[in-house]
Amino acid sequence: MYPDISHIFAAKAQRRRMLAALSWEEKVAIIERMRSVTKDMWTEMEVEHKVYPVWTPYDAHDAAVTLRDALEEDDATSVTSITTDTSA
């Protein structure tokens, strides 16, 4: 049995509607902020040689194993509650 994640998609859709309803000026301010954040990252990487972790498909298998192990180590109560909620 898999958890029902429809509420996650519903929340995403709600967030998109909320963002779309902002004024044009507010939305452009968000774009400008996104641009400045990524620009800062590039500057830091070039000037200060900072390193940012980046996901790559080459590590996907190892990452999946790490995630699975972490989930197995977890007390599993949260997963159980999601499953229970779904069946209810």
Partner 1 sequence: MVRLEKTLAIFNQLEREGVIGHYAIGGAVAATRYIEPIQTYDLDIFVMLPVAPSGLISLTAVYARLKQMGYSAEGESVVIEGWPVQFLPVFNPLTDEALTQALEVKFGSMPTRVLSAEYLAAIMLDTGRPKDYMRLVQFFESDVLDRTVLESIIVRHNLMEKWQRFQMRFLNDEVG
Q: C-beta of 56: minimal distance to partner 1 in Å?
A: 21
C-beta closer to partner 1: residue 1 or 37? 37
Contact 4, 86 (CB under 8 A): yes
Smaller CB distance to partner 1: residue 54 or 70?
A: 54
Least distance in angstroms from the C-beta of 23 to partner 1? 9
Q: Smallest distance, Å, CB 17 to partner 1?
A: 8
The H or E element that residue 14 is part of is helix 6-20
Closest CA to 53 of 72, 36, 69, 66: 66
